[in-house]
């Protein structure tokens, strides 16, 4: 994927990472308030770029302006959310165990713990979110909030948009009086530049959003390092949705309308796209498929993000549809032109799905496969056969839930987020969100890429033993000068 | 390292891991109270083994009975601590963001998050803690508490002790009515059995305590897996201790007595042993060295854990002492016999230390090297030159601390635990303890191996979106039936 920017050389990357390390030391001397103001300034400078930013992003990604307007709001909202989190302060997980000098046989020391930043974080943004998962997206915002310098490799598919966002961050660095290299931006279209970024001595952690191939390559580069570092790759998912019998019988048309929309939202270019549906054979299912087909037929093709993604969609969807036993339910009634994607839903039996691993693979685009299971046992088997997922969803009535206990127990074991009677597309940015999940959804299921807890990827705990009060970080001092929630001798206190 | 037990074959390990996976599913159906009772039963059954267990461990490890008595108490204490943690319940980090159906442009869903177990955990225990970091040690206790089945590879150096502890766990499994394979025990003296355990499909995480070579081998095996898993290797440390000038001038004799004890405690066979000391040249330092020499001279050699560790100590200490510019301060006055270790302290200049990486390596045993720095700048340089550490300690008066701000800022960047006016040997088991640190102290600085937070290595977050209240796990239900601390709409509540 070529663009007009010069590829960073390995030497340049070495220098960038050394500068990041120097900035790390300076950044640790800035106050919580200064960091918060900095994050807010980035948000304001992005807004100040105005419609020009939206137009550039739309040109580069083919995403419509209203969608990009919403994504920009999410991006600036995330930056401000992390500023609020910093000021609120309890994210550092301060905990205090006070001393007991009289304990026998040994006195109990005073031990206090909090989270501290890891160091320079390298971020590889996503093609499908030019704002929210890119240059100033969730990885960058959470790492800067954590106290880590950030180096972003611009996504080649929207490198000019990335440059514009970078210009906004540079202005914020100046106006907030931050270390000049607290955020740096490099271009690269090759795996070599990614390798150099991951393998630099100073790199302390990596955040990636994108394809399985890309995410695993970074993990592989990292495993060749002398000093291991955490790599958080978020690599997508087929997001299984189970439709239970009673709701299919009662609500087939409504469910179909909801899912025709979710499958084709943003031309299916979401990692939470419902690429797999499961149901038990019956009239409810056929009625649902009939309505779903009509819904899909009515949805017009639209341009995908770039030619590479379109080619992959063509290849993967044709491959899936060519498998024995796979039947097209419906495609869009309008022919796809150029790099447009053709919305498509297909049907396969549980038995065939279980026997053919190719059908388990993600088809990134407006595509979903319904697995027609002969009974609940087969449905559970199908669900167990798919790998780790970002989300899994169950659609059902109270009667359904009462009748399918084993299914409900299984769901949390395969995904980071379990939804009830909704669609997986759309990820709420909040404390409790888990946008992560067992491999291959991510490389480390213990963390989330969305929500305030995304900051936890870039920090480690440090404890202080018998430290004089005045020398402790503010978060751990007796008087609680930051006024934050802390676990003090096993009680949460403020 | 040979013993009388049959090495588990790769086929046997495959079967063991499959059994662990089956036990995982059954274990998830047991209640919090059942798991707590199980952990307590293990503690009671270990105590019921009586003096026979202590004698066997002493035979196998050469550790004295009083030390083993203390370690047994710590081990049973840890098991009971995790039972208490389960009943208290807030370790699951329950958080709730309630819905707002009126929010524009999109309604806000109800999202609730908690921690859930990863799956079967493989534990490789330590040679130097036959109870507390072995068969029923901290890794096992925290993994069972998390809800994970455990497979322990017995340490070959105390395989009979491990069998005895295993017999206690088996009794507890029966009396607590737990799945038969919730804990399994295999023998192996080869790297092959370790590899098979790490690479089994069902293995979800690995805990290791021991040498750098062993810990890195497991990480390497894990990097060859198709599905990546977390590997937490705790691999030791040289635990730098900085002695500041004012305290050296005022308290040289007391400091020396404290450190002669810490350096030789348990014949130095602790990962928190103070293997590196730093000070600025001056009369205080010379007076300290004089007293320290007298202290070390008076300490008698004692047998090390096993012949392999003794051989390594001989080799590493001779190698270090043979380096240009390294001078012995003092050795024990008594000759070492058989596999006894000879307590030894040595001295080197800052300049020589900085130029010779071999001097940065751990010498596992009753050995410590004092680095005589010409000024504070050199001392900071020496401290920055050492790699990641479990602990770092500063000894100083208030005057010292006021005069050495840059040093105090540096300390948390190199270690998981920062101590003031104490010794690093001795690790308090509590909420705030961090027994971990940057590589090469561990393979993942984001976690601790000691204290309640050790459980966080074996869990991942799951969130539930718009889940009917009755279908939520108890920890997330509206009425808070477990009565636990939860973050509800950004407020901690009980």
Whether residues B494 and A492 touch (CB distance < 8 A) is answered with yes
CB contact under 8 A, B461 and A88: no
For residue B324, the model assigns a pLDDT of 97
SS3 call for B54: helix
Q: What is the mean pLDDT of residues A259-283?
A: 97
pLDDT at residue number A4: 80
CB contact under 8 Å between A436 and B461, yes or no, is yes
Q: Helix H segments across A386-452?
A: 398-403, 405-414
- The pLDDT of B262-270, averaged and rounded, is 97
**Rg over CA atoms, chain B:** 24
Give the gap in angstroms from C-alpha B358 to the nearest C-alpha of chain A.
17
Q: What is the pLDDT of residue B490?
A: 86
CB A127, CB A3: distance < 8 Å: no
Active-site residue, selected from the candidate residues B45, B71, B271, B340? B271
**Reported confidence tier of residue B433, pLDDT bands at 50, 70, 90:** very high
Is the Cβ pair A460, B436 closer than 8 Å? yes
Mean pLDDT across A418-426: 97
**Rounded mean pLDDT of chain B?**
96
| Per-residue pLDDT at B263 | 98
CB nearest to B446's CB, from A230, A416, A426: A230
Q: Report whether the peptide linkage leading into residue A440 is cis, meaning its omega lies within 30 degrees of zero.
A: yes
Phi, psi (deg, nearest 5) at residue B49: -70, -20
CA distance A256 to chain B (A): 19
**pLDDT category of residue B104 using cuts at 50, 70 and 90:** confident
Test mutation, A26, A463, A485, chain B, max B CBs within 10 A: A463
Instruction: Give B1's pLDDT tier (boundaries 50, 70, 90).
Output: low
Nearest Cα residue in chain A from B105? A70
Q: What is the dihedral of CA A383, A389, A390, A395, to 10 degrees?
A: -10
Residues of chain A found within 8 Å of residue B247, distances taken between Cβ atoms: none
> A219–B228: do the CB atoms touch at under 8 Å?
yes
Three-state SS across A15-52?
HHHHHHHHHHHHHCCCCHHHHHHHHHHHHHHHHHCCHH
Evaluate if residue B192 carries a pLDDT over 60: yes
For the stretch B460-476, pLDDT in tens is: 999 999 999 999 999 99
CB contact under 8 A, B230 and A444: yes
For A487, the closest of B111, B431, B467 (CB atoms) is B431
Taking the C-alpha atoms of residue B55 and residue B67, their distance in angstroms, rounded to an integer, is: 12
Q: What's the pLDDT tens digit per position in A310-357?
A: 999 999 999 999 999 999 999 999 999 999 999 999 999 999 999 999
Is residue B3 very low, low, confident or very high in pLDDT (cuts 50, 70, 90)?
A: confident
pLDDT score for A256: 98
The reply to whether residue A422 touches residue B466, judged by beta carbons under 8 angstroms, is yes
Q: At what angle do helices A51-61 and A159-175 cross, to 10 degrees?
A: 150
What is the ipTM, given to two decimal places? 0.96
Mutual angle of helices A65-88 and A138-146, in 10-degree steps = 10
What pLDDT score was predicted for residue B327?
98
Residue A449 has pLDDT above 60, yes or no: yes
Of A189, A205, A226, A187, the C-alpha closest to A140 is A205
Yes or no: say if B247 and B282 are a contact pair by the CB < 8 Å rule: no
The span from the CA of B96 to the CA of B106, in Å, is 19
Alpha helices by DSSP H, listed for B176-282, are 191-199, 212-223, 245-264
Burial of B12 (0-12, 13-18, 19+ CB in 10 A): middle
Q: How far is A427 from chain B (nearest CA, A)?
A: 10
pLDDT at A2: 60
**Within 13 Å and on the Cβ side, how many CA atoms surround B152?**
32
pLDDT at A417: 98
Per-residue pLDDT for A3 more than 80?
A: no
* Residue in B112, B401, B456 closest to A471 by CB: B401
User: What sign does the CA torsion over A485, A487, A489, A490 have?
Assistant: positive
Closest residue of chain B to A449, computed from CA coordinates:
B461
B440: helix, strand or coil: coil
Catalytic residue among B234, B340, B362, B378: B234
End-to-end CA distance of chain B: give it in Å, rounded: 52
CA distance A175 to A170: 9
Domain formed by B240-420, architecture: 3-Layer(aba) Sandwich (3.40)
Contact B446 A459 (CB under 8 A): yes
Q: Which chain A residue has the Cα nearest residue B393?
A: A465
Report d(CA A241, CA B359) in Å as an integer: 58
Q: Which CATH class is domain A241-420?
A: alpha beta
Contact A430 B97 (CB under 8 A): yes
Report pLDDT for A19: 98
Residues of chain A positioned with their CB less than 8 A from the CB of B440? 227
Beta bridge partners of A460: A116
CA distance A89 to chain B (A): 11
Burial of B66 (0-12, 13-18, 19+ CB in 10 A): exposed
Kindly state the helix (H) or strand (E) to which residue B471 belongs, with its residue range: none
Phi first, then psi, for residue A94 (nearest 5°) are: -65, 130
pLDDT at position B157: 95
The DSSP output letter for B244 is P
Could you give the percent of chain B with pLDDT greater than 70?
A: 100
**Angstroms from B437 CA to nearest CA on chain A:** 8
Chain A residues in contact with B413 by the CB 8 A cut-off are 116
Instruction: Give me the pLDDT at residue A317, please.
Output: 98
Cβ–Cβ gap B230/A95 under 8 Å: no
Question: Chain B partners of A70 at a C-beta cutoff of 8 Å?
Answer: 105
Task: Reply yes or no on whether the pLDDT at A1 is more than 60.
Answer: no
Above pLDDT 90, what percent of chain B?
Answer: 97
- Strand, helix or coil for residue B194: helix
d(CA B431, CA A488): 9
Chain B residue whose CA is closest to A434: B463
Cβ neighbours of B460 in A, within 8 Å: 416, 436, 438, 445-446
Contact A118 B445 (CB under 8 A): yes
> What confidence score (pLDDT) does residue A191 get?
87
Q: Where are the domains of chain A?
A: 10-235+443-486, 241-420
User: What are the tens digits of pLDDT across the range B129-144?
Assistant: 999 999 999 999 999 9
- Asked if B462 lies within 8 A of A88 by C-beta distance, the reply is no
Q: Is beta strand B111-117 parallel, antiparallel or unpaired with respect to B95-97?
A: antiparallel
What confidence score (pLDDT) does residue B491 get?
Answer: 87
- Integer distance in angstroms from the first to the last C-alpha of chain A? 52
Tell me how far CA of residue B222 lies from CA of A493, B203, B206, in angstroms.
41, 10, 9
Partner residue opposite A463 with nearest CB, options B413, B433, B446: B433
A487 chain-B contacts, CB cut-off 8 A: 431
Give the one of A97, A227, A460 whose C-beta lies nearest to B430's C-beta: A97
Q: What is the pLDDT of residues B292-322, one digit of tens each?
A: 999 999 999 999 999 999 999 999 999 999 9
A to B CB pairs, distance under 8 Å: 188
Nearest to A228 among B219, B431, B436 (CB): B219
Alpha-carbon distance B154 to B163, whole Å?
Answer: 8
Chain A: closest CA distance from residue B414 (Å): 10
| Spatial distance between the Cα atoms of A345 and A285, rounded to a whole number of angstroms | 14
B227/A440 Cβ within 8 A: yes
Q: What is the mean pLDDT of residues B133-156?
A: 97
Residue B281 CB neighbours (<10 A): 16
Q: CA geometry: angle at A339 spanning A336 and A343, to 5°?
A: 45
Active site (catalytic) residues of A? 234, 271
Task: Select the residue of B118, B422, B468 nearest A466 (Cβ to Cβ).
Answer: B422
Considering only the beta carbons, identify the residue of B116, B418, B490 that sits closest to A462: B418
CB A75 within 8 A of CB A65: no
Helices (H) and strands (E) in chain A, counts: 15, 19
Using an 8 Å CB-CB cutoff, list chain A residues near B485.
492
CA–CA gap between residue B465 and residue B446 (Å, rounded): 28
* Cβ atoms of residues A84 and B403 within 8 Å: no
C-alpha–C-alpha distance, residues A402 and A419, integer Å: 17
Q: How far is A156 from chain B (nearest CA, A)?
A: 28
Going by their DSSP bridges, the two strands B327-331 and B344-349 should be labelled as: antiparallel
Asked if A461 and B434 come within 8 Å (Cβ–Cβ), the reply is yes
Q: Other C-beta atoms within 10 Å of A52: how many?
A: 9
Confidence bin at A47 (pLDDT 50/70/90): very high
Cβ contact, residue pair A416, B462, below 8 Å: yes
Topology of domain B10-235+443-486, CATH: Aldehyde Dehydrogenase; Chain A, domain 1 (3.40.605)
The answer to whether B246 and B282 are in contact (CB under 8 A) is: no
Q: Any catalytic annotation for residue B271?
A: yes
Does B105 sit behind a cis peptide bond, omega within 30 degrees of 0 on the bond before it?
A: yes
Mean pLDDT computed over A2-25 = 93
pLDDT in tens, A103-159: 988 899 999 999 999 999 999 999 999 999 999 999 999 999 999 999 999 999 999
Determine whether the interchain pair A418/B446 forms a contact, defined as Cβ–Cβ distance below 8 Å.
no
**A105 preceded by cis ω (within 30°)?**
yes
Which whole number is the average pLDDT over A464-492? 96
Closest A-chain CA to B229? A444
Buried b / exposed e along A296-308 (16+ C-beta atoms within 10 A): bbebebbbbbbee
Contacts of B219 in chain A (CB under 8 A): 228
User: Same topology for domains B10-235+443-486 and B240-420, yes or no?
Assistant: no
């Amino acid at each position: 994927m070529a663009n007009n920017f010069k590829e960073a050389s390995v030497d340049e990357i070495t220098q960038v990472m050394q500068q990041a390390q120097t900035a790390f030391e300076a950044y640790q001397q800035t106050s919580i308030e200064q960091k918060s103001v900095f994050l807010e300034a980035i948000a304001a400078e992005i807004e100040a770029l105005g419609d020009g930013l939206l137009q550039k992003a739309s040109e580069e990604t083919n995403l419509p302006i209203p969608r990009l307007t919403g994504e920009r709001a999410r991006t600036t909202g995330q930056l401000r959310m992390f500023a609020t989190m910093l000021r609120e302060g309890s994210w550092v997980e301060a905990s205090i165990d006070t001393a007991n000098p009289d304990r026998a046989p040994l006195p109990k020391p005073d031990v206090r713990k909090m989270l501290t930043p890891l160091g320079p974080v390298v971020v590889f943004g996503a093609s499908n979110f030019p704002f929210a998962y890119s240059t100033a997206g969730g990885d960058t915002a959470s790492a800067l909030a954590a106290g880590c310098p950030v180096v972003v490799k611009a996504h080649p598919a929207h490198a000019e948009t990335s440059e514009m966002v970078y210009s906004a961050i540079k202005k914020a660095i100046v106006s907030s009086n931050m270390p000049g290299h607290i955020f740096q931006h490099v271009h690269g279209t090759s795996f070599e530049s990614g390798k150099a970024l991951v393998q630099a001595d100073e790199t302390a952690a990596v955040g990636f959003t994108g394809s399985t191939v890309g995410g695993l390559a970074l993990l592989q580069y990292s495993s060749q390092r002398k000093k291991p570092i955490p790599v958080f790759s978020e690599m997508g998912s087929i997001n299984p949705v189970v439709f239970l019998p009673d709701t299919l019988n009662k609500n087939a048309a409504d469910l179909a309308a909801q899912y025709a929309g979710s499958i084709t939202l943003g031309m299916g270019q979401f990692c939470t796209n419902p690429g797999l549906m499961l149901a038990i054979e019956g009239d409810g299912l056929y009625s649902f498929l009939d309505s779903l087909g009509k819904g899909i037929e009515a949805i017009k093709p639209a341009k995908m993000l770039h030619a590479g993604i379109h080619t992959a969609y063509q290849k993967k969807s044709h491959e899936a549809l060519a498998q024995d036993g796979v039947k097209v339910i419906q495609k869009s009634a309008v022919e796809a032109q150029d790099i447009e994607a053709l919305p498509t839903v297909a049907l396969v039996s549980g038995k065939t799905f279980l026997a053919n691993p190719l059908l388990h693979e993600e088809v990134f685009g407006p595509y979903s496969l319904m697995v027609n299971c002969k009974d609940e046992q087969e449905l559970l088997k199908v669900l167990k056969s798919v790998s780790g997922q970002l989300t899994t969803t169950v659609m059902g009535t109270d009667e359904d839930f009462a009748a399918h206990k084993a299914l409900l127990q299984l769901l949390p074991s395969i995904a980071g987020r379990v939804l009830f009677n909704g669609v997986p597309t759309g990820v709420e940015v909040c404390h409790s969100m888990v946008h992560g999940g067992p491999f291959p959804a991510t490389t480390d299921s213990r963390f989330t890429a969305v929500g305030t807890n995304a900051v936890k990827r870039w920090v480690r705990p440090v404890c202080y033993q018998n430290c004089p009060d005045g020398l402790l970080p503010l978060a751990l001092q007796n008087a609680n000068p930051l006024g934050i929630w802390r676990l003090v001798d096993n009680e949460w206190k403020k």
